[in-house]
Amino acid sequence: MAKILVTGGTGYIGSHTVVELLQNGNEVIIVDNLSNSNVQVLEGIYKITGINPAFENVDCTDYVQMERVLNKYPNIDAVIHFAASKAVAESVEKPLMYYRNNLLSLINLLELMLNYKIPNIVFSSSCTVYGQPDKLPVDEKAPIKKAESPYGNTKQIAEEIITDLAAANKQLKAVVLRYFNPIGAHPSAHIGEIPNGIPNNLMPYIAQTAAGKRTELKIYGNDYNTPDGTCIRDYIDVVDLAKAHLAALTHLLNNKQEKQVEVFNVGTGRGLSVLEMLTTFQEVNKLKVPHKIVARRKGDIEQVWADPTHANNTLQWKALTPLTETLKNAWKWEQNQKK
Ligand code: UDP
């Protein structure tokens, strides 16, 4: 059992990870400013686990408040750092907000980890760092491409900050997880994704259209150089993704790590097109989702999917949930939401 500080622990991926941590006997302290989540998530976590983790409504960019949290909860073994702003388009509109939120919170956290002798961090990065890879599936050795958005840039810079700090501080150990596209919800439907306003991402948009909250799904382009002309992504079940954090933590806490900073792709290894996702969602949930093809969305990558071999072999982690289950869970969660 370990004592884990989870920033952004009421968010989409954070909440699912908190559940896995608690179910595996860890003590969890959540720090979240509820900027893109709400306190009901804590009820969902309780319904699944029967445990109320410690919760601090604190913004990670506030150093003084973060210090107060670390004084209140001594002897933390590791930090899992989810807290960040994540809307690509918003980051183009408000770059300073993104640099401040995503980088200042990381810098504060790392500084406090040094001061409070917390040696381990799991950091949420993204496959966006690869841009359009030259080779598919993409592995961790692929070059980092120039970021397409301030959001993507914060992830690249954050990885560099962690690497630089580890070089200067031999006691610091980090696992960087590059997520592909997380989708779905907990099978209990007590927690899931709560999109802020109109969803940008495909899965919540499909689910909300199926529920009648949106009139139709717009498919952004069918003239890409892919088998059916629509973009291809690696969609990873959110519970599988949560379990990758547990595997990363075990790896760190058992001192299995050869390098101070290790980077892992977290994906299924399977690329699916927008049309394949839509068709499968309709089939497994036995419903129709109104849709139309529209022009390409600016900044979209044509195709990307993961080579997850490094995580499979080194973390003994693998994405296991069948797509059909994931899509059923996504729909079950959507139906559980208040209109
Ligand atoms: N997409 C779409 N309609 C939507 C939302 C997304 O056709 O309403 C497409 C988008 O163009 C991309 C894929 O779905 O090809 C995944 O998009 P998402 O925003 O979920 O993830 P990302 O682009 O960040 O990988």
- Whole-number Å distance, alpha carbon 232 to ligand 1 midpoint, is 9
Strands 235-237 and 181-183: parallel
CA angle 278, 281, 285 (to 5 degrees): 145
Q: What is the pLDDT of residue 338?
A: 66
Cα–Cα distance list, 170 to 72, 113, 160, 162, 163 (Å): 26, 13, 16, 12, 11
Of ligand 1's listed atoms, the one at least distance from the Cα of 230 is: 15
- Whole-number Å distance, alpha carbon 76 to ligand 1 midpoint, is 38
pLDDT score of 175 more than 80: yes
Of ligand 1's listed atoms, the one at least distance from the Cα of 231 is: 15
Phi, psi of 44 (to 5 degrees): -60, -45
Q: What's the rounded Cα separation, in Å, for the pair 28 and 141?
A: 33
pLDDT score of 328 more than 90: yes
Q: What is the pLDDT of residue 45?
A: 98
Q: What is the pLDDT of residue 212?
A: 96
Please write the tens of the pLDDT for every residue from 97-109: 999 999 999 999 9
Mean pLDDT lowest for which of 146-150, 158-162, 171-175, 279-283? Answer: 146-150
Please write the tens of the pLDDT for every residue from 4-36: 999 999 999 999 999 999 999 999 999 999 999
Of 298, 152, 324, 149, give the one whose Cα is nearest residue 231.
298
Please write the tens of the pLDDT for every residue from 230-268: 999 999 999 999 999 999 999 999 988 889 999 999 999
DSSP 130: G
Q: What is the pLDDT of residue 1?
A: 87
Ligand 1 neighbours, Cβ below 6 Å, are 181, 200-202, 205, 217-220, 231, 233, 274, 297, 300
Q: What's the rounded Cα separation, in Å, for the pair 338 and 218?
A: 23
Residue nearest to atom 11 of ligand 1 (CA): 220
pTM score, two decimals?
0.98
Residue nearest to atom 7 of ligand 1 (CA): 219
Residue nearest to atom 2 of ligand 1 (CA): 219
Burial of 258 (0-12, 13-18, 19+ CB in 10 A): exposed
- Whole-number Å distance, alpha carbon 219 to ligand 1 midpoint, is 8
Please write the tens of the pLDDT for every residue from 211-230: 999 999 999 999 999 999 99
Burial of 39 (0-12, 13-18, 19+ CB in 10 A): exposed
- Whole-number Å distance, alpha carbon 272 to ligand 1 midpoint, is 12
Q: What is the pLDDT of residue 299?
A: 87
Whole-number average pLDDT of the chain: 97
Catalytic residues: 151
pLDDT score of 325 more than 60: yes
Please write the tens of the pLDDT for every residue from 39-84: 999 999 999 999 999 999 999 999 999 999 999 999 999 999 999 9
**Tokens 């599988």 -> residue:** 240
Residue nearest to atom 15 of ligand 1 (CA): 231
pLDDT score of 339 more than 60: no
Burial of 32 (0-12, 13-18, 19+ CB in 10 A): buried
Of ligand 1's listed atoms, the one at least distance from the Cα of 206 is: 8
Query: If phi over 0 gives left and psi between -120 and 50 gives alpha, with beta otherwise, what is residue 212?
Result: left
Are 247 and 311 within 8 A, CB to CB? yes
